[in-house]
């Protein structure tokens, strides 16, 4: 840590700094309790200015998609209209995660305070069986991760239609048309190529339609500045534009999906497609530091798990602790271990499993869980089980946040699980199918591709939605006004990343740039270790945490891709995570 910058700060200097902060209307939180905010060597700055606007804001992982959302609001659409348009645009320009062949979740909080949660998670095909991914010896195969059998029934198109039917204000055709134009050709930028590593190129090359679409230069990716044309995707989006969900779940697109299944040994049928529905559910709502946090219920585990960890930490004065100091990180890790232990045991598709959601999200239960935390020593995960009696996602998701001039807020997290999902592009339809079947507990008690060890409640069953960690979230001030919209991709790290963006703001007073750019940590109960990003922790802090009994692991890659909007008086202030290079755009 660069202690020399902050070794001695007189009260006079602090007062001068405070005056400068007020004068600039920009919260400089480069110090918290006298410590440098970010450790020496951290790659992102705490000195950047947020994107600000007065009328509306879209923040997503791609500039083109964000701009389309703003254009929709400029033309009279609301935040939900913009969300629909952004979703379909991301299916074109961010095909490694944006999609029409996957699913996701939407949380809305309208200007009148009405909140809603939309579950458009994929479902297991009706021909799915509990042990379909095990070999003759009972061991897991890779069929839940790659290839046709890995795909669940897609929910994205049904989800966007349901959102528009309930909250949309302009014509459906106007929302899908920009994506059709993009599919006819857009200029490739560096961000797009970030997903096409040599390993990914090799994987996509195994599927002819995927290679033809994404590797147009004789089996290699396009170059920066090339125009990527996806004519089959343009035709599919055109059918969706003209016929709504009927242009996807019926007719030519449905026939192409089923033909692809038959070609590769998949099991999605016309019946599966025709019977798919998105579901409106009651959001998870809880209070943290006096603010109301609104998030996603099962089949996402995000809201309930985040409620438990927040309720546990509510009992500690986190904001008085050094940010990313050993005490703060220790308490985060201990709260997260207990929350993930419950998440992995109890949570699943609510249409199939009864869950103690009210108990998990209660303050009383959090006090019981907190009573087992030592403030000086780590509790081994092997000693932490689910806290009640009961029955025995991919890094490459994408999130976007939107607020309109009226104060309507939308948070959407959507995915095909791994980058490019199953790696299978539907021949003649131009979109990638998900590999969300791996988010089931294909063999309960065994880790999935994100290391999450889940229980019997999340076992494969026909028509069942697989458990997710996606956590689109809206935060309201104590007086009921809008404060924050947040979310991220990141597989099992999603919940802890979203919580950290909220805690950075509510506990430590960070502005939106610092809340997003700050280094992240993670613990998910099993494996029993605290993950941190490269150069994301001070070595002295690592040593102190190890002395408390924690195992720490420095990741080789980054954690998440948060897209965050904060309301500051009459201004919207936003920041797109530099970890993947998106863009916040407002007007």
Q: How many CB atoms lie within 10 A of CB 12?
A: 8
Q: Which two tokens stand for residue 299?
A: 């089949």
* Sign for the pseudo-dihedral over CA of 317, 323, 326, 328: positive
Distance separating alpha carbons of residues 571 and 584, to the nearest angstrom: 14
Distance separating alpha carbons of residues 308 and 297, to the nearest angstrom: 13
State the helix-helix crossing angle for 326-346 and 363-370, rounded to 10 degrees: 120
**In three state form, how does the secondary structure of 167-178 look?**
HCCCCHHHHHHH
Q: Which two tokens stand for residue 275?
A: 């019977």
Between the alpha carbon of residue 24 and those of residues 21, 62, 207, 462, the distances in Å are 5, 29, 54, 57
Which stretches of 298-354 are DSSP H helices? 302-313, 326-346
Q: Tokens 């408390």: give the residue.
A: 548
pLDDT one-digit tens code per residue, 15-39: 233 333 333 333 344 555 555 589 9
Which residues are known catalytic residues? 397
CA angle 269, 275, 281 (to 5 degrees): 135
* Residue 372: partners with Cβ closer than 8 Å, 6 or more residues away: 338, 379, 384
Q: Which parts of the chain sit beneath pLDDT 70?
A: 1-36, 388-395, 445, 447-454
**Torsion angles phi and psi, residue 409, rounded to 5:** -125, 140
Q: Is the peptide bond before 527 cis (omega within 30 degrees of 0)?
A: yes
Distance separating alpha carbons of residues 345 and 375, to the nearest angstrom: 25
Helix, strand and coil in the chain, % to nearest 5: 35, 15, 45
Residues β-bridged to residue 575: 564
CATH class entry, domain 281-394+469-586:
alpha beta
Q: What is the CA radius of gyration of the chain?
A: 23
Q: What is the domain partition of the chain in residue ranges?
A: 3-36, 58-279+409-458, 281-394+469-586
Distance separating alpha carbons of residues 31 and 251, to the nearest angstrom: 59
Confidence (pLDDT) at 37: 80
Q: Tokens 């692809």: give the residue.
A: 260
Number of residues assigned to the chain: 587
Distance separating alpha carbons of residues 148 and 33, to the nearest angstrom: 53
Classify strands 552-554 and 31-32 as parallel, antiparallel or unpaired: unpaired
Q: Which two tokens stand for residue 496?
A: 């802890």
* Residue 208: partners with Cβ closer than 8 Å, 6 or more residues away: 427
Q: How many CB atoms lie within 10 A of CB 141?
A: 14
Confidence (pLDDT) at 24: 34
Q: Which two tokens stand for residue 69?
A: 């959302």
DSSP 375: S
């Amino acid at each position: 840590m660069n202690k020399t910058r902050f070794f001695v700060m007189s009260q006079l200097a602090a007062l001068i700094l405070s005056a400068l902060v007020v004068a600039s209307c920009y919260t400089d939180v480069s110090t918290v309790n006298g410590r440098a905010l970010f450790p020496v060597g951290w790659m992102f700055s705490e000195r950047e200015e947020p994107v600000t606007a007065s009328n509306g804001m879209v923040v997503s992982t791609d500039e083109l998609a964000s701009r389309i959302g703003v254009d929709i609001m400029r033309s009279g659409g609301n935040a939900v209209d913009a969300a629909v348009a952004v979703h379909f645009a991301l299916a074109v320009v961010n095909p490694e995660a944006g999609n029409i062949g996957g699913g996701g979740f939407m949380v809305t909080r309208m200007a009148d305070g009405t909140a809603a949660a939309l579950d458009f998670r994929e479902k297991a095909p009706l021909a799915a069986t509990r042990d379909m991914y095990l070999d003759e010896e009972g061991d897991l195969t890779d069929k839940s991760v790659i290839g046709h059998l890995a795909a669940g029934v897609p929910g994205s198109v049904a989800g966007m239609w349901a959102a528009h039917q309930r909250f949309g204000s302009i014509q459906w055709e106007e929302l899908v048309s920009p994506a059709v134009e993009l599919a006819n050709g857009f200029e490739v930028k560096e961000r797009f190529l970030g997903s096409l590593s040599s390993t990914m190129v090799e994987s996509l090359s195994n599927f002819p339609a995927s290679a033809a679409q994404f590797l147009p230069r004789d089996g290699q990716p396009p170059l920066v500045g090339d125009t990527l044309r996806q004519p089959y995707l343009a035709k599919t989006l055109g059918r969706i534009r003209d016929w709504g969900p009927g242009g996807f779940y019926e007719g030519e697109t449905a026939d192409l999906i089923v033909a692809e299944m038959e070609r590769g040994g998949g099991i999605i049928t016309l019946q599966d497609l025709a019977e798919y529905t998105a579901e409106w559910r009651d959001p998870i709502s809880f209070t943290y530091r006096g603010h109301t946090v609104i998030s996603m219920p099962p089949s996402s585990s995000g809201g309930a798990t985040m409620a438990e960890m927040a309720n546990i930490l509510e009992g500690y004065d986190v904001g008085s602790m050094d940010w990313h100091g050993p005490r703060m990180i220790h308490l985060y890790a201990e709260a997260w271990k207990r929350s993930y232990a419950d998440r992995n045991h109890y949570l699943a598709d609510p249409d199939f499993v009864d869950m103690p959601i009210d108990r998990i999200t209660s303050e009383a239960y959090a006090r019981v869980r907190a009573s087992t935390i030592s403030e000086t020593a780590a509790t081994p995960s092997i000693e932490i089980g689910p806290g009640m009696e009961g029955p025995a996602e991919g890094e490459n998701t994408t999130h976007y946040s939107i607020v309109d001039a009226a104060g309507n807020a939308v948070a959407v997290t959507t995915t095909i699980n791994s980058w490019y999902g199953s790696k299978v592009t539907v021949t003649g339809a131009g979109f990638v199918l998900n590999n969300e079947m791996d988010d089931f507990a294909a063999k309960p008690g065994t880790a999935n591709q994100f290391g999450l060890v889940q229980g019997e409640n999340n076992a494969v069953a026909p028509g069942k939605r697989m458990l997710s960690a996606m956590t689109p979230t809206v935060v309201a001030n104590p007086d009921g006004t809008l404060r924050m919209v947040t979310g991220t991709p990141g597989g099992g790290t999603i919940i802890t990343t979203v919580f950290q963006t909220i805690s950075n703001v509510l506990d430590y007073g960070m502005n939106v740039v610092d809340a997003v750019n700050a280094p992240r940590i993670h613990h998910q109960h099993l494996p029993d270790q605290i993950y941190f990003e490269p150069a994301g922790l001070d070595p002295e802090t690592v040593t102190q945490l190890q002395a408390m009994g924690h195992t720490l692991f420095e990741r080789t890659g980054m954690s998440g891709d948060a897209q965050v909007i904060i309301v500051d008086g009459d201004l919207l202030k936003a920041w797109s995570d530099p970890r993947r290079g998106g863009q916040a755009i407002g007007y």
